[in-house]
Amino acid sequence: MTLSLEATTLLDRARQAEHAADLYLGDERVEPARFAEILREVDPSQLDERVLWNVLFAAGELSQRVDVYRAHELFVAAHGLVQRAGDLDPERAATIEMSFDFFFGRKAHPLLPLRAKEIVSSLGALLNRSRAERRAGIHGLGHLIALGRGQAWTHDAVQLLDELVRQEPSAELRRYAEQARAGELA
């Protein structure tokens, strides 16, 4: 892992921050690019649950406050981190599963509808990976369905979840996908 000095400093702050908001509130110098750098470069298995939560949460929040290009950079970096997660201990896995809640668990997002098809496709690519990655993809797709009611791109998200329900051997993941499809994720 080779991080810039700014990203290393930010990662050190993430290790000490009691709340993820402490990483960006009141500090106008925090650049979304540094969060994206951390998400692209770190091995998720090397970060404890709190640091992983703080960085992902802050990246999701910052994606709401920046232009669509920076929001996209943060999403792509978070997606890459999730893809590198593999099988983690339960605490880290729970954080990975919530990754896209931090981005799309709200009333709107700057990437929607502009990049919706790409986001749906990216989240769909997680559905054939580790359990934590599948749950992250399901969770993200569920939020996109809830946010996009009546939008054409929700059809693709619903199709991906329907396919998962047909093929998934785990009853628990099938139920979770059915909840996401119905837009009923808490």
Backbone angles phi, psi at 55, to 5 degrees: -70, -45
Quote the crossing angle between the two packed helices 131-147 and 154-167, to the nearest 10°.
140
More confident residue, 157 or 26: 157
Query: Tokens 């998200």 appear where?
Result: 157
Domains of the chain: 5-181 (1.25.10)
Query: Using one digit for the tens of pLDDT, what is the confidence trace for 95-140?
Result: 999 999 999 998 889 999 899 999 999 999 999 999 999 999 999 9
Query: Using one digit for the tens of pLDDT, what is the confidence trace for 18-29?
Result: 887 777 666 666
Residue % of the chain over a pLDDT of 90: 69
Closest CA to 78 of 56, 51, 106: 56
Average pLDDT over residues 64-81: 95
Structural tokens at position 175: 């139920």
- pLDDT band for 1, please (50, 70, 90 cuts): low
**Exposure class string for 141-169: b at 16+ Cβ within 10 A, else e:** bbbbbbbbeeeebbebbbebbeebbeebe
